[in-house]
Amino acid sequence: MDPDIGLPIRRHEVTPTRETPVIPDAPYTEPTKTPTPAREPV
């Protein structure tokens, strides 16, 4: 079981470049108490 990703919105055709990417961070934040929908295994 994983966190739900919701409904499909659009499709992208993505071509990587040779440029050095700028990668965003994803810092830890204290989880809130709001319920998160669950889904079947992916």
Residues that bind another protein (CB under 8 A): 1-17, 19, 21, 23-29, 31-32, 34, 36, 38, 41-42
Torsion region of 6: left, alpha or beta (phi above 0 gives left; psi -120 to 50 gives alpha)? left
Q: Which two tokens stand for residue 24?
A: 């965003």
Eight-class DSSP state of 2: E
C-beta of 39: minimal distance to another protein in Å?
10
